[in-house]
Structures are given as C-alpha cells and as structure tokens.
Structure 1
Amino acid sequence: MAATHLSPFPAEIEDPVTYKEAVALFARTGHKAAESTVRRYVEEDELKTARVGKVMYVSWTDLLEAHFKRTAAKLRASSDWP
C-alpha cells in the first residue's frame, strides 16, 4: 500500500507565507505592517494567493515588493530623498 502525503504548502507559490507569518516577518525588518495592511497589499496589487484548507498563503517576495513600493514612496515624500 502506497502512502500519499499532501504537502501543507501550496505548490503554485514558491515562497509561501500566511498573513500572520508575514506580519511577524515585517516586524523583524523594522517596518511593521498589520495583518489588515498585508491583506490590503494582496487586494490592491492583486497578488496571487493560495488556500490550503482554511489557511491562505501569499508569496513573501511579492509582499516585500508591495511593501517596498509603498515605504519608498513615503520616504521620498517626507525627506530629502535623492
């Protein structure tokens, strides 16, 4: 009898994180983002998501790019950004 095992991570996303994991990772970068902010990034930038059971995953790389875009814009608007 062959054992079948489903991966708990979605195959279509290369670097999957949950929204809660993303919040914790952003906090470690020094640029905190609330879960509602992460959800807004996903919605506004139409980031690809995948659901496994009740858990929603999104690409960490895509979230970083979305966060960078907004953070860089804020820095340029509020300082002497070159």
Structure 2
Amino acid sequence: MRASQVRARIGRRLLRTVAADPGRPPLAIATLSPTPSEAGSDTVSLREASELFAQTGHPVTPRTLKRWCDRHEVTVLQHGRDNWASWSDLLEIHAEEVDAREAR
C-alpha cells in the first residue's frame, strides 16, 4: 500500500482513498466484498463518508452530504442516529458538487 492510500473497513466493505495523479489529492473509492448478504448493497453512513471525503482534501460534513442527497434525489435511509446512502451515489454527488464549488 502506498503512503497516499488510507483504508477503512466498514463491515465487509473496504473503503479507501487513492492518489490518481501525483501531486493531486487522493480520490475516494470503494471495493465491495462479494458476499450474499451484501451483494448489490453499497450503503455507507454519511458520517463515515464524510470522514473519507475529508482525506481527499475536499471535506464535507454529514449534514451537507444529506442536503446534497436531497438536492440530487438520492435515497437516504435513517437507521438509529445515522443516515445511510449509496456510496456510489455519494461519490458522484461529491464530484459534481466539488466541481461546481471550484468553478465559482
């Protein structure tokens, strides 16, 4: 593992950041473990997603992620005190919103 990679294990999912280009902030990606109980499921808590996005150099709070999910009509499920959404959808939303923020 390169020094630019940071890993977090959430259930059977391996979430990590990887530097795509030298000198640029790392990107957040997910690797799913193919297990019957998790097949097709890539949900992550907004809190955990926020922690991973902070490592990319483009931090965002869980509350902002929730607002972005509402704006982009992404389903958010509440389980206990945490809100959960699709990691794939959060990656797309984060990229769009960061690009829009930087274009201003």
TM-score by length of 2: 0.54
| Larger RCO (CA under 8 A, 6+ residues apart) | 1
Equivalent runs, 1:2-81 vs 2, <5 Å: 14-52=41-79, 54=80, 55-77=82-104
Say which structure is richer in strand: 2
Aligned pair count reads 67
Shift of 1:51: 4.1
Say which structure is richer in helix: 1
In the aligned structure 1, how far is the partner of 2:40 from the partner of 2:78?
Answer: 11
Structure 1 stretch displaced more, 68-77 or 18-27: 68-77
Q: 1:57 is paired with a residue of what secondary structure?
A: strand
Shift of 1:11: 6.0
Q: 2:55 is paired with a residue of what secondary structure?
A: helix
> What is the percent sequence identity of the aligned residues?
31
- Name the Cα RMSD after superposition: 2.4
In the aligned structure 1, how far is the partner of 2:63 from the partner of 2:78?
Answer: 18
Larger Cα-atom Rg:
1
